[in-house]
Each structure stands twice: as C-alpha cells, then as structure tokens.
Amino acid sequence: MRRLRHAVRDFNPAVLHAVGADAVRAARLCLSRSEDGNRPRFVASVGTALEGGLGGWLTARQVRGADRVIATGWGEAERYRAAGVLGERLTRISPAAGQPVEPPDRAAFCREIGAPADAHMIFTGGRLEAAYGLKDATVAFDMMRYVSPALNLVFTGDGPDRAVAEDLGRALAFDDFRLRFTGDRSDLAAVTRLAAQVWVLCARGGEWLALRAMAAGRPVLAFRTPELEEIIEDGETGVLVAPGDRAALATKAQELLADPEETVRIGEAGRARVAERFSSARFIEQHIRVYQELGG
C-alpha cells in the first residue's frame, strides 16, 4: 500500500478510477479529502461487489465517498442508490465488447482441454464459483448429454468451486464425463468463437460474459436477470429463461443445437447489437467525458 500511495503522489493524477472492490478499498487510502471532494477525484466501479458480509459493507462505505460511481445498467444503479450513493454522483455507462478476433486452431484447443477433436462445445462459467451458476449448468448439461454424444460443456475461467463442478459432473456421469475446464486464459474472446453456444447463468451481472459471446457471433442462453434483460432481446439477440430453470435451459439449448439456421440468425443478431450499442469506442468516449468533467 505504501508503494501505491507513493505512485499516486508522484504521478499526481487529476482522476483516480478504481475498478473492483479490492481496488476501491485500496484507492481510498491514497486520497485526501477537501471541502469540495477528493484529491485526486475518485471514480468507483464495483459491479456486484456490494453484496454480503463485511467486505460488501466496507465496499459500500467506500463507494459512498466517491466523487462519481459508474453503473453498467439500471439494476446496478439501483443497488448503488440502496447503498446510499447520491443520485447526482451516479453515471450509467453500458458495458462493451471488442471486435472479434480469429479463433485458435480447434484441434489444438480441444487437445488442451481434453475434448475430442470433433466435440460440439457449450461454453459457460466466467469465474468458477456458485454465483456463476456452475451447478445449474452441470445439471442442465446432464439432461442433454444422452441425446448429444458429441456435446461437451466447457467451463471458462477459474475459481474456488472448480472441484465442486467437477465432482458433481462425475457423480452424475461417472462413465461419461464430458465437462472441460479452460482455466484462466488471455484469449477467451477468440476461443469463444469455437463454441456452439454460450450459457450465462449468473445470479446477477454477467453482462461482460454475454457481450463477449455476442461479439463473437455465438448465441447466448442466459438466466433472465435485470442486467441481461437490458442487453438481450429474448428470441432475437439471445434466449432468456427463468433463473434456476434447468429444464427450460436444456430444452432451449437442445432446440438451438437442432436448428443451425436459427443458431446463426441469433448469433448474427447479437453481433449486430453489440456493434450498434455496446462498442468499445462508445464505452471509452463516455468514460473520457466523466474524467474531463471531474478533472477539468
């Protein structure tokens, strides 16, 4: 923390933007208070990290002292208001996804994750913990594997509950285990283009995961949450099902797998929506406006 304080002091920025709960708590130790706000001006973005326990309480306390708080959607903005953030300090900036890049070699990727070269892959995950719907994905996939012998469920990212998902998968299908794990990778945006479809099963949030898949032209099947309803038009740019409805998820996923034309249509509609409303250029421009407003 001493090195961070020294770096902020030496660089002397007009605005300090902290992204994530840990960064917000650390940044507050590098600021000085004055009658008209923080020095440097403090911008906070924490997503879903306001919820639960001492960590959530501490984060909410720090966020209330920010000069500006950025929310990615109306649902997140309401959580900030409930935590005591003043409305005039809130700015809504939609999340973004970059342009799709060329996918890696399919055969090489399949070897890396232990899948057959001809595997049909459903991607899910983001972070391997309960809030990302690991059990929901595993059980829904188990409903599908009997009729789709080439299908594999690929968990992207890493996290503390990887073993939980793996143990559940082996308990359900000890003689036909088809769960794969990518671990942390820097090329997930490219790798996503190898998926037949992407499941986003977060209890809250998940916008960045959905947009990454949509930018790659992959159809997204997701739980109907306020955040994802702002991004996905059900039946047009993706498919939404009731949170926790594993049977509906499996049914909709199987229907898409059996209809290549519909899969392509939804994937292309999602890609177009990202290009129109969730571009990186727009995201950057809106942040620059906030920095200019605060920093002068």
Helix, strand, coil share (%) of the chain residues, nearest 5:
50, 20, 35
What pLDDT score does 34 carry? 72
Length of the chain: 296
Instruction: Please provide the CATH number assigned to the domain covering 106-274.
Output: 3.40.50.2000
Q: Do domains 2-96+280-295 and 106-274 have the same CATH topology?
A: yes
CATH 3.40.50.2000 fits 2-96+280-295, yes or no: yes
C-alpha pair distances (Å), 176 with each of 36, 138, 142, 168: 63, 13, 10, 13
CA distance 224 to 240: 5
pLDDT tens by residue, the chain, 296 residues: 678 888 888 888 999 999 988 888 888 788 887 767 788 999 999 876 566 666 677 788 888 989 999 999 888 899 899 889 999 999 999 999 988 788 999 999 999 999 999 999 999 998 899 989 999 999 999 999 988 899 999 999 999 999 999 999 999 998 999 999 999 999 999 999 999 999 999 988 899 999 999 999 999 999 999 999 999 999 999 999 999 999 999 999 999 999 999 999 999 999 999 999 999 999 999 999 999 999 87
The alpha carbon of 125 is separated from its chain's Cα centroid by a whole number of angstroms, namely 9
E strands, the chain, are 15-19, 32-34, 37-39, 41-45, 68-71, 90-92, 120-125, 151-156, 179-183, 197-200, 220-223, 239-241
What pLDDT score does 267 carry? 98
What is the per-residue DSSP string for 194-241? G-SEEEE--SS--HHHHHHHHHTT--EEEE--HHHHTT--BTTTBEEE
What pLDDT score does 296 carry? 74
Neighbours of 29 (CB within 10 A): 12
What pLDDT score does 3 carry? 84
Q: Which residues contact 296 (CB under 8 A, 6 or more apart)?
A: 14
Q: Which two tokens stand for residue 5?
A: 């304080």
Tell me the domain boundaries of the chain: 2-96+280-295, 106-274
